[in-house]
Amino acid sequence: MMRALYQAPNSAMKDFLVATLPLISGLTPGIIAEIMKVTFYPMDILFYAIAVYEGYRFSFRQISEDELWGLAMAKADPNRAMSGQSQSSA
Q: How many independent structural domains does the chain possess?
A: 1
Q: Is residue 85 part of a domain?
A: no
Does a structural domain hold residue 28? yes
In which domain, by residue range, is 53 found?
2-58
Question: What's the whole-model pTM score?
Answer: 0.40
Domain-embedded: residue 87: no
Going by C-beta distance under 8 Å and a sequence separation of 6 or more, which residues neighbour residue 70? 81, 87
Q: Residue 13 domain-assigned?
A: yes
pLDDT for residue 33 is more than 90: yes
* Dist. CA 67–CA 73, nearest whole Å: 10
Residue 64 counted as domain residue:
no
Using the predicted structure, report yes or no on whether residue 12 has a pLDDT greater than 70: no
Residue 6: pLDDT band (50, 70, 90) is very low
CA 54 to CA 1: how far, in whole Å? 36
Give the rounded distance of the alpha carbon of 20 from its chain centre.
19
Task: Report yes or no: 87 and 73 within 8 Å, Cβ to Cβ.
Answer: yes
Q: Half-sphere exposure of 21 toward its Cβ, with a 13 Å CA cutoff?
A: 0
